[in-house]
Amino acid sequence: MSGRSVQAWFVSHRTLLGVGILGAVLVSIGVFVARRPEPPRLVLQQTAARPAASPQVTSLVVVHLSGEVIAPGMYRLPAGARIEDVLKAGGGPTGEGDIQRLNLAARLADGQQIVVPRRIDPILGALTASPSPVPGRVNINRASVAELDRLPGVGPVTAQRIVAYREQHGAFTAVEQLRDAKLVNAATFEKIKDLIDI
């Protein structure tokens, strides 16, 4: 092909050649961009918010309710609940239950047993009740929770524990059983030993 015919061919096909060259340049740029490594992505990871601890789960007391109550059993109540609360949870006392002998305002302790005592017929109670052998002393076999609660260092929870122990194991045979059964500690026993009898 002569130089003039090559020149004529270029002139007649210059549009087509321009498009081809432009296409080649664009393809080269695309290949270059595609081959360039992607910059590392910065991934921000949010720290998961810790769920707030539920006070009901972390601060519960487990109490055993028994005696003259509609639904005896184990109950889980919030810390700070009172004897009245566990009685409500257990459906209340039976017709024979005597809640007057319980301190309904006393706070519950974990592992505590609440025994709802049976109501005593006042006439029968007057006939069978024997006074304490020493006047002024508290008979630990007959004293109510309220009477035991008045002893120095005892308190409502310990008083309830003494009554529950007495109802489960029968009458005390010696005042020292309060200490030996770990119903009161040695220091408290020393305070009350001259104020109680059986």
Rounded to the nearest integer, the mean pLDDT of the chain is: 79
pLDDT of the residue at 128:
47
Instruction: Report the SS3 class of residue 165.
Output: helix
Encoding tokens for residue 185? 């500690």
The answer, as to whether pTM is greater than 0.95, is no
| 79: confidence class by pLDDT, cuts 50, 70, 90 | very high
Say which CATH superfamily domain 130-197 falls into: AF1531-like domain (1.10.150.280)
Average pLDDT (41-57) is 52
Report yes or no: 119 and 76 within 8 Å, Cβ to Cβ: no
Cα-trace Rg, the chain: 44
Lowest mean pLDDT, pick from 7-16, 25-34, 43-52, 68-77? 43-52
pLDDT digits (tens, 9 = 90+) for 145-164: 889 988 998 988 899 999 99
How many whole angstroms separate alpha carbon 65 and alpha carbon 174?
A: 27
pLDDT of res. 62: 93
Tokens (6 digits) for 52: 């707030």
**Residue where the block lists tokens 């972390």:** 58
